[in-house]
Structure 1
Amino acid sequence: MVKADDMLLFVHVVEEGSFSKVSAKYEITMSVVSKRVARLEKALNVQLLYRTTRKLSLTDAGQALYKKAKLAQQALQDAEDVVAGYSSDIRGRIKITMPVVTANLVLNQALVEFCEQYPGIEVELRVTNRVVDILDEGFDLAIRTANLADSSLVARRLVDSNWVVCATPDYLQTYGEPEHPYELEKHHCLLYKYEGTKPEAWLFRVDGEDKLMAVKGRYRTNTLDTLKHGVLAGFGLAYLPRALIHEELEAGKLVSVLSPYVGKELGIYAVYPGSRQPDKKLNLLVEHFRQALQRKKQYFA
């Protein structure tokens, strides 16, 4: 017979990535963890994990079981949260993912403040620019800067993020300031190549319409921070979120150009699975993030 506790332990093993981490985190011996996973495999008559000295990986059966067992774990957590909602004691675990710029600018500090305010809260934060599958990877909450169109997710807009085309004063003095997006063909542009996208076009608002303008450059990167360093070095023009370069613009180290034509504005959203009703602690965290971002609204606008 399959034991529910073994399934939940299996979820922890998958998410921690090793027996030893589960052993240390939940204060049980590694031999007990191993025996319980083996007992689950025997009860199901199927191998769930490939074990090597370096890592664990899921079999196809293990992947299928993890998805279903994770839903069961979330259902149990939801039930616990409903009961906890009758108490003023806020506790539980929240697994979060967010992009690098938003984390570094505001939300790292905001998350620490939230944990200090609610000692019963345990958080796991993954900072990455990769758009993770929050259902498959077991996240409770994602912060995303995007135009969202995925109806399977519930999203709450926290703040608007405007982007600017910018360069150093020295670059503009040497090469001239473009007055229209068409003039960018004469300039060296630093290109942000996000996963699965082409970097050679920038979005502008021309004659009342959104237009993608082809741009050229010898410098491509998949991180906005690297792009920022390139433009600060005077290497060319870059299209960056205002929040990332707010202080450099204020100090005159960078200059915004083509302002009448810049058409890139993205929302920063709190996103969670539509299949799951947000609980009290999650609602509190989302509101805490919204307020933290709104307090720095001048950085984004």
Structure 2
Amino acid sequence: MIKADDIFLFVQVVDEGSFSKVADKLEMTNSVVSKRISRLEQEINVQLFYRTTRKLTLTDAGRALYGKARLAKQALQDAQDTVTGYGDAVRGKIKVTVPVVSAHILLSASIADFCKLYPDVEVELFVSNRMVDIIDDGYDLAIRTADLEDSSLIARRLIDSHWVVCASPSYLENHGTPVHPSELKDHQCLIYKYEGVGPDNWQFQLNGEDCYIQVCGRFHANSLESIKQASLNGFGISYLPKILIHEELAQGKLLSLLSDYSTKRLGIYAVYPRSRQPDKKLNLLVEHLREAFLNRKGHFY
């Protein structure tokens, strides 16, 4: 007879990536975890993992079971969280994905502070600019800097991130200072390429209307930090979030350009699935992060 606990253990093994990690968390031995997974495989008469000494890889059957079993496990967790929400205790696990810049500048420290405030809360933080599928990948919360269009997700705006066209004093001394967006065609522009493609069309406002100016340059990167470093090195003009270059602007290492025309604004949102009722701990975390952003709003705009 298939046991629900074995199915949920299987989900946890997939999420953690190894028997040993699950064994440590559940205070079991590796052999007990392995035996229970083997028992599940025998009950359903399929192999769920390809096992090697280095890693576990899901079989096709394993992937199919994981997709359904994870949703069932999440539904059970939602039910438990709902009941927990009526009490005073704040406990449980929150799986969060956040973008790189926000993580390094603010979110990692803020989430660590949150864990100090609530010692019974466990946070699993995934830092990446990759646009993960929140539902399929099992995330409770995503922080996203983007123009959101997905109506299947609920989004709460935390703050707006303003972007700044900038260059180093040395670049401007050697190549001149553009005073109109149309002059960018004569300059070396540093282009942020997100997942292989990117905005070589920069957003401005001309005559009261938003428009896009195509730029070009010899330096492309999928990292905003790399674009920033190339700017500091005097290699070209970049279009970057103000939060990323706030200190450099204040110190004069980078100079703001075309401020009368620059209109790029991206909202930073807390996003979670529409099907998931946010529980007490999730609401507290979102509010904690919103306050962290607002406490530094001068760095964003």
> Is TM-score (shorter-chain normalized) higher than 0.5?
yes
Deviation (angstroms), 1:127: 0.8
> Which stretch of the first structure deviates more once superposed, 47-56 or 291-300?
47-56
Q: Which residue of 2 aligns with 1:207?
A: 207
Deviations 1:83-121, CA, capped at 9 Å, x for gaps: 212221110001111011111111111111111111110
Pairing 1:255-294 to 2, within 5 Å after superposition:
255-294=255-294
Q: Which residue of 2 aligns with 1:11?
A: 11
> Which stretch of the first structure deviates more once superposed, 18-27 or 5-14?
18-27
- Tell me if 1:80 matches 2:80: yes
Structure 2 Cα separation of the partners of residues 212 and 123 of structure 1: 40
Pairing 1:166-181 to 2, within 5 Å after superposition:
166-181=166-181
Q: Which residue of 1 aligns with 2:30?
A: 30
Deviation (angstroms), 1:61: 2.0
Deviation (angstroms), 1:76: 1.4
Q: Which residue of 1 aligns with 2:194?
A: 194
Q: Which residue of 1 aligns with 2:42?
A: 42
Q: Which residue of 2 aligns with 1:114?
A: 114
Structure 1 Cα separation of the partners of residues 135 and 2 of structure 2: 24
Pairing 1:79-98 to 2, within 5 Å after superposition:
79-98=79-98
Deviation (angstroms), 1:199: 4.1
Structure 2 Cα separation of the partners of residues 289 and 103 of structure 1: 11
Deviations 1:103-159, CA, capped at 9 Å, x for gaps: 111111111111111111011111111111111211111100000001111111000
Residue pair 2:196, 2:222 contacting (<8 A) in 1 also: no
Residue pair 2:191, 2:198 contacting (<8 A) in 1 also: no
Deviation (angstroms), 1:21: 1.3
Deviation (angstroms), 1:184: 0.5
Letter of the aligned partner of 2:78 in structure 1?
Answer: D
Structure 2 Cα separation of the partners of residues 36 and 15 of structure 1: 16
Q: Which runs of 5+ in 1 are unaligned?
A: none
Q: Which residue of 2 aligns with 1:232?
A: 232
Structure 2 Cα separation of the partners of residues 189 and 248 of structure 1: 18
Deviations 1:30-87, CA, capped at 9 Å, x for gaps: 1111111111122222222222222112222222221221111111111211221222
Give the number of aligned pairs: 301
Superposition TM-score, scaled by structure 1 size: 0.97
Residue pair 2:203, 2:262 contacting (<8 A) in 1 also: yes
Letter of the aligned partner of 1:109 in structure 2?
Answer: A
Structure 2 Cα separation of the partners of residues 154 and 57 of structure 1: 33
Structure 2 Cα separation of the partners of residues 109 and 127 of structure 1: 13
Structure 2 Cα separation of the partners of residues 22 and 170 of structure 1: 54
Q: Which runs of 5+ in 2 are unaligned?
A: none
Structure 2 Cα separation of the partners of residues 41 and 183 of structure 1: 65
Structure 1 Cα separation of the partners of residues 52 and 135 of structure 2: 26
Deviation (angstroms), 1:168: 0.8
Q: Which residue of 1 aligns with 2:185?
A: 185
Structure 2 Cα separation of the partners of residues 59 and 144 of structure 1: 32
Structure 2 Cα separation of the partners of residues 95 and 71 of structure 1: 14
Structure 1 Cα separation of the partners of residues 44 and 299 of structure 2: 54
Q: Which residue of 2 aligns with 1:161?
A: 161
Structure 2 Cα separation of the partners of residues 21 and 221 of structure 1: 35
Letter of the aligned partner of 1:10 in structure 2?
Answer: F
Letter of the aligned partner of 2:192 in structure 1?
Answer: Y
Superposition TM-score, scaled by structure 2 size: 0.97
Q: Which residue of 1 aligns with 2:21?
A: 21
Structure 2 Cα separation of the partners of residues 150 and 229 of structure 1: 33
The runs of at least 4 consecutive aligned structure 1 residues that moved more than 6 Å come to none
Q: Which residue of 1 aligns with 2:241?
A: 241
